[in-house]
Chain A
Amino acid sequence: MSEITIKIDGREYKTQEGEYILNAARANDVFIPAICYLTRCSPTLACRICLVEADGKQVYACNAKVKEGMEVTVSTPNILKERRAIMEVYDVNHPLQCGVCDKSGECELQNYTLEIGVDSQSYSIPDTKRENTNWSSVLHYDAGLCIVCERCTTVCKDMIGDAAIKTGARGGEKLSKEAKDSMPKDAYAMWNKLQKSIIVPSNGTEHTNCSDCGECTAVCPVGALVSRDFVYSSNAWELERVPATCAHCSSGCQIYYEKKHTSIANPDEKIYRVTNEWNFVSLCGAGRFGYDFQNDVEGKDVEAFEQAINAFKKADTIKFNSAITNEEAFMLQLLKEKLGVKLINHDAKAFKDFLDSYSKASGSSLYGSDFREVMKSDFVISVGASLRNDNPNARYAFNNVQKMNKGAGLYFHPVGDMLVPTFGKSVEVFNHKVGQEEAVLYLILDLFGDKDKLPVQTKDYLASFHKTVKKTIKEKVMESVTSTVVDKETGESKEVTKKVPKMVDKEVEVDENGLVSILGGSDNFAETFEKMMKKKENFSLIIGEDLYFHPRARNLSRLVALIEDVCDMNLVMIPPRTNSLGVAMICNLDEEESGYIVGYNEHGHFRLGARGFSKLDIPALNQQEGTFVTMNKVVVPTNPALEYKGYELNDILNEFDIGLDETIDFTPKLARFDGFKDIEFDDLPNGYTNTGKENRGYIIDNISVEKQAVSVVEFNDSIVLEGEIAYRCNPQRQFNDFTDKSHQINEEFALYVSPSKAQTLEEEVEVEFDKDTTLKLKVVVDDRIDGDIVLVPDFKSHQNIYSIFGKDRYKTVTIKKG
């Protein structure tokens, strides 16, 4: 893409070739009215208010692309007439209820009605009764307020991937002929469509049964779609917005906690909702609804604090997980250095080992790309991640590539998923066996690799899977058939020769790829793949947690490095938890826990935690300032939304004389670790620019490390798991103790199974891992899972699931009647 110059209202602006006029204008701070367009989604032309004149022709700014030297006029007399008529039409029969509406004050209908200066109404039509409904446990739809801009359906399809809502019939009266003749053209077209539609769940029922991400409520320009919890609880302008970072997964989405006093009787502050810059970042249900996990404590508990100091003094091990800030990780590392304790963190350790081994093979400390690049690619592959559960934004990227870039996708995972294949026509799914991840990476090498760059050994190894076989295929040939027909009118008979298609068997030689069949791919994969590859230029590979928790993780990491090297792909990895990457970069982690264990948000002999049941309370992630490292390799700041009155880790460090005044005084000191920079916390920005550029924190340096001559080894099938298999995987919207505590997130701690598997199980079962380890779990059906593998969640830290699974993410189990 190259830079070009266009003129808007006579002034010159620079922009990128191929950009929509609207985006070009926005990037240059020029205002063009627009309602239905969402950045990162396809234009729907529902509102038509973005009309502009470009080189003398009326076009829609949201779907017309800029050209070098283009001259754009934002308003002409005719366009002003259209806009005024459009806004008047939106106001026809729109309930006069701004007084109670949740959107009042931040409503785009209010804003544009004022902006366009609508002070009288020229149109009318009988109203249709439209009902309020609750689509799910979080979604409230007030059809009366809906202006059918389709932003909700668009974001759900193009970004989220559920396509859980669509336009349905409104049953409104037809527009009169007179209206058609007398109205501006575009306003009429908009009204015609508006009068016919409302929004309904796409599955034909009353309920969406979707991912409950709430992104549709975020994009709705009016008060039609609001979260059920928020309805009529506060006016927008009363809420104070605290820019922060979501604490739940490694996406590290930028969010705003919006808070005010709890009620007249209770002046304590409360978070009422979480909002986001929905044009540039999409949240999941955990981030949007999992916000009330603060640790409310009365004050400093001196006694517990003394106990904690003693516990640290006698500790052999500090155990923690990665739902912590970099500053906390740093402090734990300092404690290790001071006290000589071991640091145990299961998720970060596995990830760190994988990364280390990867960097030795690749020569750089971190994976080469990020998810912003993935979104720009047109072919994306996911290996070892349960895309729907592990990381919502990885899934959004996978989906967005299909929808926006005419992309294709390969999804490799042992657990069948009903949603991923619906992302696009060119999505191929391999439900391979557990343990075949190496074979998957070999297949990728084989399909995408530049064979000349491969080591000879590997090249030969790959070639050994190919053989040429004779195959009979059906082929269409045209055959001439002659028949006699009688002309009805003249009675003459005539001979007519026609060509008709006929299927014949034909023997051809084809190349058969053994890897495809080993992985359970379909027979005509070669053909499908050829279609998928058409016009594809930019490839991405997403690596997930299954590969870090794998008996052959080292070989996998080397294969990944090799793929990055010879396949010219954007490589990204999904850190298992919120800040696993940060912890991996900061802490010196140990293998085995031993002796007296102090648990920091984890199970231990002495427990410090941000959830109620700990001996010493520490602040939750919405009560502290600090930084995270996201999966995009960016150090992002987060701010406290709520007050915390108790002790924090820094107080403990101060008892050992290694603390600082404030927790955030550690932020610039992080520069001690490779990749981090010496920047004060208060200097870290946290927002987006008009162009959608992320302006948050700073990007971690990807440092070159010494490349070691390592070689990849062949895979063997001995580690393949058979029989009853349990997979450590959280249900959607649950990530940790904090999401669990939030009142709007109700996915329980249970065994998640496919509908077919549920048929064979009782309502409650005992999952036996080995003789001494069993878990009693309720069985919950997730109708988006397919196949027999059962999912055991790990979001409750006191259940110690990571220890049960150890270095694997899959285990063979016996499931007994509970």
Chain B
Amino acid sequence: MGLEKFKDRNVGIQQYKVVEHEAFPKSNAQKFARVMKRMVKGELFVGLWVTLRTMYQALFQDDMHTVKYPFEKLPISPRYRAIHEMLRLLESGHYRCIGCGLCEKICISDCIKIDTKYDENQRKEVTEYTINFGRCIFCGYCAEVCPELAIVHGGRYETSSQQRASFSIFEDMLTPIDALSSQKEYPGFGAVSPNADDNIKKTPLAY
């Protein structure tokens, strides 16, 4: 894709319709005449009729337009950036995060903190991981920088809280181990592009 499209600021096809209306009243007499005309015409009942019609359709013809939030939610795009999720490795169930700290570093509102240590198996263990959602601006940088596809954005967007600082800890964000089978790969920010293979030069192996 070239840059032309981006440079073309005249977006979309122009489909504006000019609304036809009578001329605005100019003198007081004209104004008085308009008021009288409207009173006699009974426009109020037109509106009332529309309301009743819709009510009838909703109640008896099963044609409801309102979403019953919070009992009902609209689906959101996979690229939407809501509360983070931490994924696990599908085979072993071990958390994917290696504690590299890149998300912590890149976070522009400085709300990620990680504790790590050297464990018995000579691995780097993530002992705790927190995000301060009171500061997070859901920019998606963390998910984009993560080399392990460990931190991703989920769909949980209800983040109102009674405190300014509302933290999430590692456990809150990790895929519950019993829900591992339903863990989905994230197609949004930072996911591997479909043509990733074409962009990589292979390293020779001597085996």
CB-CB < 8 A to A98: which residues of B?
100
User: Which residues of B are found within 8 Å of A263, using beta-carbon distances?
Assistant: 115, 127-128
Contact present for A99 and B207 (CB under 8 Å): no
A233 touches B118 (CB 8 A): yes
B30 sits at the interface (CB 8 A): no
**CB-nearest residue of chain B relative to A238?**
B101
Question: Is A124 a contact of B98 with CB atoms below 8 Å?
Answer: no
B118 touches A232 (CB 8 A): yes
Q: Which of A122, A124, A233, A237 contacts B206 (CB 8 A)?
A: A124
**Contacting chain A: which of B39-47, B181-189, B197-205?**
B197-205
Please tell me which one of the listed residues B99, B102, B105, B204 contacts residue A122 in the complex, with CB atoms under 8 A apart: B204
Q: Are B128 and A264 in contact (CB under 8 A)?
A: yes
Those 9 A-B pairs whose CB atoms lie nearest each other, nearest first: A99-B100, A124-B206, A100-B124, A124-B204, A232-B118, A232-B124, A235-B101, A121-B203, A231-B118
Per-residue interface assignment for chain A, residues 104 to 141, with 1 indicating a CB less than 8 Å from any chain B CB and 0 otherwise: 10000000000000011111111000001000000000
30 contacts between A and B (CB under 8 A): A99-B98, A99-B99, A99-B100, A99-B147, A100-B98, A100-B99, A100-B100, A100-B123, A122-B204, A126-B206, A126-B207, A132-B122, A231-B118, A232-B124, A232-B125, A233-B116, A233-B117, A233-B118, A235-B100, A235-B101, A237-B101, A237-B105, A238-B101, A238-B104, A261-B113, A263-B128, A264-B113, A264-B114, A264-B128, A264-B130
Chain A residues closer than 8 Å to B117, beta-carbon distance: 232-233
Which chain A positions have C-beta within 8 A of B147?
99
Name the residue on A nearest B148 (C-beta).
A99
Give every chain B residue within 8 A of A124 (Cβ-Cβ). Answer: 203-206
Partner of A235, one of B105, B130, B204: B105
Question: Interface 1/0s, chain A 245-270, versus B by CB < 8 A?
Answer: 00000000000000001011100000
Is A232 in contact with B206, judged by CB distance below 8 angstroms?
Answer: no
Chain A 223-246: CB-based contact to B (< 8 A → 1; otherwise 0): 000000001111101100000000
With beta carbons under 8 angstroms apart, the residue of A121, A238, A265 that contacts B128 is: A265
Near A by CB (< 8 A), chain B positions 130-189 give 130, 147-148
Tally B residues with Cβ within 8 Å of A. 28
Q: How far is the CB of B133 from chain A (nearest CB, A)?
A: 15
For residue B202, give the distance in angstroms from its CB to the closest CB of chain A.
Answer: 9
* Alpha-carbon distance A263/B128, docked complex (angstroms): 9
Decide if A123 touches B100 in the complex (CB within 8 Å).
Answer: no
Specify the chain A residue showing the minimal Cβ separation from B170: A264
A676 → chain B, closest Cβ, in Å?
43
With A and B bound together, what is the CA distance between A261 and B118 in angstroms?
Answer: 18
Task: Give the interface residue-count category, chain A.
Answer: 20 to 34
Contact B101 A120 (CB under 8 A): no
Q: Assess the B116–A123 pair: CB atoms within 8 A.
A: no
Taken together as a complex, chains A and B put the C-alpha atoms of A176 and B123 apart, in Å, by: 34
A-B contact sample (15 more), CB < 8 A, given A125-B206, A261-B113: A99-B100, A100-B99, A100-B100, A100-B124, A120-B201, A121-B201, A231-B118, A232-B124, A233-B117, A234-B116, A235-B101, A238-B105, A263-B128, A264-B114, A264-B115
Interchain nearest-CB distance for B55 vs A (Å): 54
Give chain A residues whose Cβ lies under 8 Å from the Cβ of B101: 235, 237-238
CA distance A231 to B116 in the complex (A): 10
Q: Which residues of A contact B (CB under 8 A)?
A: 98-100, 104, 119-126, 132, 231-235, 237-238, 261, 263-265
Please, which residues of chain B bring their CB within 8 A of the CB of A232?
99, 116-118, 124-125
How far is the CB of B127 from the nearest CB of chain A, in Å? 8
Write the nearest CB–CB distance from A182 to chain B, whole angstroms: 13
How many whole Å from A273's CB to the nearest CB in chain B? Answer: 14
Q: Of all chain B residues, which has the CB nearest A231? A: B118
Report the separation of the CA atoms of residues A123 and B205 in the bound assembly, to the nearest whole angstrom: 8
Q: In the assembly, what is the distance between CA of A104 and CA of B117, in Å?
A: 16
Residues of B within 8 A of A120 (CB): 201, 203
Whether B206 and A121, one on each chain, are in contact in the complex, defined by CB atoms closer than 8 angstroms, is no
Task: State how many angstroms separate the Cβ of A85 from the closest Cβ of chain B.
Answer: 14
Name A119's closest neighbour in chain B (CB-CB). Answer: B201
Most central of B98, B99, B124 by chain A CB within 10 Å = B124
Give the complex CA separation of A121 and B124 in angstroms: 28
**In the complex, what residue of chain A is closest to B97 when comparing beta carbons?**
A99
- What CA separation (Å) do A263 and B205 show in the bound complex? 41
Once A233-B118, A265-B128 are accepted as A-B contacts, the answer to whether A123 and B99 lie under 8 Å apart by CB is no
Q: Give the complex CA separation of A231 and B121 in angstroms.
A: 13
> How far does the alpha carbon of A237 sit from the alpha carbon of B128 in the complex, in Å?
19
A275 to chain B: closest CB distance in Å? 18
Residue of A nearest to B125 (CB): A232
Once the chains are docked, how many angstroms separate the CA of A232 from the CA of B203? 28
Task: Specify which chain B residues have a CB less than 8 angstroms from the CB of A119 in the assembled complex.
Answer: 201
Residues of chain B within 8 A (CB-CB) of A231 are 118
Shortest C-beta distance, B166 to chain A (Å), equals 15
Complex Cα–Cα for A264 and B132 (A):
11
Chain B residues whose C-beta falls within 8 Å of the C-beta of A126 in the assembled complex = 206-207
User: Hey, which chain A residues are within 8 Å of B201, CB to CB?
Assistant: 119-121
Contacts of B124 in A (CB 8 A): 100, 232
Report B-chain residues with C-beta under 8 Å of the C-beta of A233.
116-118
Interface string of B84-118 (1 = CB under 8 A from A): 00000000000000111110110000000111111
* Residues of chain A lying within 8 A (CB to CB) of residue B98: 99-100
Determine how close the nearest CB of chain A comes to the CB of B102; give it in whole angstroms: 8
CA separation between A264 and B116, bound complex, in Å? 10
Q: How far is B205's CA from A73's CA once the two chains are assembled, in angstroms? A: 36
Measured between alpha carbons, how far is A373 from B116 in the docked complex, in Å?
A: 45
Report B4-31 residues with CB < 8 Å from chain A CB. Answer: none
Chain A residue with minimal CB distance to B146? A99
**Min C-beta distance of A232 to chain B, whole Å:** 4
> Chain A's nearest CB lies how many Å from the CB of B116?
5
Closest A residue to B203 by CB, please name it. Answer: A121
Instruction: Check if A123 sits within 8 Å of B204, measured CB to CB.
Output: yes
Chain A residues whose CB sits within 8 angstroms of the CB of B105 once the complex forms: 235, 237-238
Q: How far is the CA of A100 from the CA of B99 in the complex (A)?
A: 6
Instruction: Flag if A104 contacts B100 (CB, 8 Å).
Output: yes
List residues of chain A with CB within 8 A of the CB of B203.
120-121, 124
Which B residues are CB-close (under 8 A) to A123? Answer: 204
CA distance A125 to B207 in the complex (A): 8
Q: Which residues of B contact A238 (CB under 8 A)?
A: 101, 104-105
Residues of A within 8 A of B206 (CB): 124-126
The complex places the Cα of A119 from the Cα of B199 at a distance, in Å, of 12
CA distance A265 to B169 in the complex (A): 11
Question: What separation, in Å, do the CA atoms of A125 and B203 have in the docked complex?
Answer: 11
Task: Give Cα A760–Cα B133 distance, bound, in whole angstroms.
Answer: 67
- In the bound complex, how far is the Cα of B102 from the Cα of A232, in angstroms? 14
**In the docked arrangement, what's the CA distance between A237 and B101, Å?**
10
Distance in angstroms between the alpha carbons of A238 and B123 in the assembled complex: 20
User: In the complex, A98→B125 CA distance in Å?
Assistant: 15
Q: How far is the CB of A238 from chain B (nearest CB, A)?
A: 7
What chain B residues lie within 8 Å of A237 (beta carbons)?
101, 105
CA distance A122 to B206 in the complex (A): 11
Tell me the smallest distance from the CB of A575 to a CB of chain B, in Å. 39
**Cα A99 to Cα B201 with chains together (Å):** 21
Closest-by-CB residue of A relative to B102 is A99
> How far, in angstroms, from A265 to B170 measured CA to CA in the complex?
13
Chain B residues near A132 (CB, 8 Å)?
122
> A232 CA to B123 CA in the complex, in Å?
8
Within the complex, the shortest CB–CB distance from B190 to chain A, in Å, comes to 15
Return A279 CB to nearest CB of chain B, in Å: 27
With a CB–CB cut-off of 8 A, which chain A residues contact B207? 126
Closest A residue to B119 by beta carbon equals A232
Return the chain A residue nearest B167 by Cβ. Answer: A264
In the bound assembly, the distance between CA atoms of A157 and B130 in angstroms comes to 45
Determine the distance from Cα of A6 to Cα of B149 in the docked complex, in whole angstroms: 52
Q: Which of B98, B113, B125, B203 has the most CB of A within 10 A?
A: B203
Closest Cβ of chain B to A175, distance in Å, is 11
Distance between B131 CB and nearest chain A CB, rounded to angstroms: 11
| Complexed CA–CA distance, A132 and B116 (Å) | 19
Q: Which residues of A contact B128 (CB under 8 A)?
A: 263-265
How close is B14's CB to chain A, nearest CB, in angstroms? 47
| B128, closest chain A residue (CB) | A264
CB distance from B25 to the nearest CB of A (A): 69
